[in-house]
Amino acid sequence: MRTVLTLSFAILLAACGGQSNEEQLEEAANQSDPAAAEVLENAAENGMDPQEALQEAGNAAVEADTNAAANSQ
């Protein structure tokens, strides 16, 4: 699941060609779930490497999904 999310974010980021890293991360955040969006927005503000930001966003999304599933049982 994490690989799928990271790959999806990477494709999304690549589709935002011609923009700065900050703009690309903000665009990805606009199209992400809340947990991933928060990571991407912080990464954009702090000038984080996009690949690292995407990995962290994917991890945050997986963790949020896991916690939601555990809480629903």
Q: Which residue has better confidence, 13 or 59?
A: 59
Q: Encode pLDDT of 10-34 as tens digits.
A: 656 565 566 888 888 888 888 888 9
pTM over 0.85: no
Residue 27's pLDDT is what? 85
Burial class (CB in 10 A: 0-12, 13-18, 19+), 56: middle
Instruction: Return the domain boundaries, the chain.
Output: 2-14+22-67
Convert 58-69 to b/e letters by CB count within 10 Å (16 or more is b). Answer: bbbbbeeeeeee
Residue 5 has pLDDT above 80, yes or no: no
